Structure 1
Amino acid sequence: MLDIQQQNGEAPHKIMSRKRTRSRSEENINTKIQPLMMSYCQPAPFSDDEAAVRAREECDYTQKITYEQALNGEAPRPVRVYADGAYDLFHQGHARQLRQAKNAFPNIYLIVGVCNDELLHKMKGRTVMDEDERYNSVKHCRYVDEVLRNAPWEHSEEFLTENKIDFVAHDDIPYSSETTDDIYGPLKAKGMFLPTTRTEGVSTSDIVARIVRDYDIYIRRNLQRGYSAKELNISYLKEKKYKFQNKMHELKDKSKRVIDSIGERRDDLINKWEEKSKELVENFKLLFEPAKLRTIFSESRDKLLKALTPPGSPTESASTSSEDVEEEIDEPPRKLRRIY
């Protein structure tokens, strides 16, 4: 650093001050000039691809690796670990198992074997995904370095040597075959078995059980998405039934959306309706209070008496006593007397 400063003919403190006075805009320009680094990821190769063949040929399998060497990171080459299975409906339980295998030792090359349809249908039963779908599901898992198609059910010496496998990773549950109760037994005896742990509550069987349990829901959903009754293997009547149920659910959803769109206005409408109803009741009660009823009754009686009693004829004397008037009022009208 000193030689560079002396060649430039500047003192060290002047160079430092020059760096401090650098404008922020210049730093931004320099940052923009730097090219952007793009990340690039590839799926794992199949065992017969060039990259996998080259990795296998470069492996010196004559150098045997013990468990202690692999665990302590003292292996002279990458440790080749093999995991196998059906990997049907590839899920997080599969990914977790492969991650355990990949992280068991430092510097691991993970090979994953996937059985074909013919072998699985014979040994385990029908799968949901076909073999090509299962191969490609595993191929795109980040922990996998190589995918071996048509994986065997048992692991012979020839198979282990051909693929230069140091350890086999699998859960520690015994898996039987026609010749043995546990196909991983010989590997355990040789110290070549690497146990992994299953994720509780997550398995292909659990996923299939959920689909069977909610069968009607998934049928209706797929019909709504355009699948035909033939593709879903259901009858014409069932198709119409499920379509009718879809229509009913659509109506329910629309009604719910309308109600939700009203929002707070519902409360306002209810409050206004209650206020109006209370006002109507109060007005109705006011019409029939006791005082009002007495007033209405007396007014009606006076009108009735006036209608029945016409005004009397004028008398000879202009000054008629009140007693005479009362007597005349008490007497019934002449016309009524004649009637009686």
Structure 2
Amino acid sequence: MAGRRRGRGNNAQQHQAPQHQRAGPRGSQRKPAAFAKSTGCDSQTPHDKLTITQARRGTPANRPVRVYADGIFDLFHSGHARALMQAKNVFPNTYLIVGVCSDELTHKLKGYTVMTEDERYDALTHCRYVDEVVRDAPWTLTTEFLHRHKIDFVAHDDIPYTSAGSEDVYKHIKEAGMFVATERTEGISTSDLITRIVKDYDIYVRRNLQRGYTARELNVGYINEKKYRLQEQVDKMKETVRTVEEKSKHFVYRVEEKSHDLIHKWEEKSREFISNFLELFGPDGAWHVIQERSGRMLQALSPYSSPRGSPSSSPTRRRRSLSPYSSSASPSQSSSFLSPPPSPSSV
């Protein structure tokens, strides 16, 4: 039965079927699927037995092929939906009937479920591939059940399903030529989902305590409740410390980045200052050029001193040197020049 074996995902092929195959009865696409009547199908259309070859050709033309798929469908997931998609698309014109086992039967033969039977029934009515849902479906399909619901074929994966003392509960369906195989999707199943929850049990309990569930609702004792709340506080503290560390790292990184920028700018300014200094005061710098030009100008403006006995000593230069204001004149000469002329009476 589809969905009965939680340990292996209920599977369907990944590809999408053509539009004409995916489009079932208009009502199943626009509103939830109907629940089957306990009395079975009340259609007055003749229900002749079909072969798989006839069904694949799209016959009979006066009615769809009625395909049945059953299971537990606990924690309805994509593996379930893909299996039902295959069952819906197995023939060109298919009416898909899905049987869901009750809680009482499932707990007796399979095990405890997470969802109640009403929740599982309702989940199936909202699957787009389902046309009709049979509540309290039987574990083993009887001939009377198949006739009552006018079932043409039964869809399930081809792996033998051992249950209720039988090596394969679908053995008689296969022998009657009424079985069509679907494929299973690996990596997703109800058991896988439950295993994830059990594996991370403490995390989910702490999450629900934080969301307002009581320890009693979660079936958690007083000591475990205190332990979980303490773990929550420790995790919050760790998160705070981690946040502070991240901010500190970011701050240090910013400081280092700024320091590198400042050092880089300082190096650039230093090189610029040294270059300007050398350009001004270096051997070929502007300062030496200015000094050299200034020296040349001073030499050009100042007179040259002539050596003694030089032919260039003209009488004019000599007279200038003997002038009363010349510093080279002797003191007696200077005084004679500076003394007044004798009066006539003294002559």
1:191 aligned onto 2:177: yes
Q: Aligned in 2, Cα 1:75/1:254: closer, same or farther, shift over 3 Å?
A: farther
Query: What's the offset of the Cα at 1:255?
Result: 4.0
Contact preservation (8 Å) 1:112, 1:147: yes
Residue pairs, 1:32-111, within 5 angstroms:
41-48=30-37, 56-58=41-43, 60-76=45-61, 77-111=63-97
Residue 223 of structure 1 is matched in structure 2 by: 209
SS at the partner of 1:136? Answer: helix
Distance in 1, Cα, partners of 2:240 & 2:143: 65
- From 154, 165, 172, give the equivalent of 2:140: 154
Larger Rg: 2
**CA contact 1:174–1:182 (8 Å) conserved in 2:** yes
**Residue 122 of structure 2 is aligned to residue 136 of structure 1:** yes
Q: What SS does the aligned partner of 2:34 have?
A: coil
- Taking only aligned residues, the RMSD between alpha carbons, in angstroms, comes to 2.6
Question: C-alpha separation between the residues in 2 aligned to 1:61 and 1:179?
Answer: 36
CA distance in 1, matches of 2:261, 2:146: 87
* Amino acid in structure 2 at the alignment position of 1:43: P
1:71 CA displacement: 0.8
The 8 Å contact of residues 109 and 164 in structure 2, kept in 1 or not, is answered as no
Amino acid at match of 1:248: V
Report the Cα distance in structure 2 between the residues aligned to 1:272 and 1:89, rounded to whole angstroms: 56
- Per-residue deviation, 1:96: 0.7
Name the aligned partner's letter for residue 69 of structure 1: Q
Residue equivalent to 2:310: none
In the TM superposition, residue 254 of structure 1 has moved relative to its aligned partner by 3.6
Q: Contact 1:61–1:164 (CA<8 Å) still a contact in 2?
A: no
- Percent same amino acid at aligned positions? 55
Q: Which residue is 1:248 aligned to?
A: 234
- The alpha carbon displacement at 1:118 in A equals 0.7
Deviation at 1:185, TM superposition (A): 0.7
CA contact (8 A) 2:121 2:133 kept: yes
TM-superposed deviation, 1:259? 5.2
Q: Which has the higher helix share?
A: 1
**1:74 CA displacement:** 2.5
- Amino acid across the alignment from 1:74: T
Q: Which residue in 2 is equivalent to 1:267?
A: 253
Q: Which residue of 2 aligns with 1:323?
A: none
Corresponding residue to 2:195 among 209, 223, 232? 209
Structure 2 unmatched runs, 5+: 1-28, 263-347
Deviation at 1:268, TM superposition (A): 1.9
| Greater mean deviation of Cα atoms: 256-265 or 194-203 | 256-265
Question: Residue 180 of structure 1: CA displacement?
Answer: 3.1
Letter in 2 for 1:41: R
Write the distance in 1 (CA, Å) between the matches of 2:125 and 2:182. 20
Taking structure 1 as the reference length, what is the TM-score of the superposition?
A: 0.63
Structure 1 pair 66–258 and aligned structure 2 pair: CA distance change class (3 A): same
Partners of 1:113 and 1:274 lie apart in 2 by: 72
Whole-angstrom distance in 1 between the partners of 2:178 and 2:81: 22
Look up the match of 2:161: 175
Q: 1:237 to 1:178 in 2, by over 3 A?
A: closer
**Which residue does the alignment assign to 1:234?**
220
Structure 1 residue 181, shift from structure 2 partner: 2.0
Please tell me the residue identity of whatever aligns with 1:242. Y
* Aligned-partner SS, 2:216: helix
2:345 aligned partner? none
Q: How many residues of Structure 1 are paired with residues of Structure 2 in the alignment?
A: 234
**SS of the residue 2:118 aligns to:** helix
Cα distance in 2 between the residues matched to 1:59 and 1:205: 42
Q: What is the CA–CA distance in structure 1 between the aligned matches of 2:244 and 2:44, rounded to whole Å?
A: 68
User: 1:31 aligns to what?
Assistant: none
CA distance in 2, matches of 1:265, 1:43: 58
Output one character per residue of 1:249-305: Cα deviation in whole Å (capped at 9) or x when no partner: 2233344445556785431224568999xxxxxxxxxxxxxxxxxxxxxxxxxxxxx
Q: Residues 59 and 242 of structure 1: is their aligned pair in 2 closer, same or farther, counting only changes over 3 Å?
A: farther
CA distance in 1, matches of 2:110, 2:165: 16
Structure 1 position 114 matched with structure 2 position 100? yes
Aligned-pair CA distance for 1:153: 0.5
Give the whole-Å Cα distance in 1 for the aligned partners of 2:161 and 2:87. 19
Q: Offset at 1:114?
A: 0.2
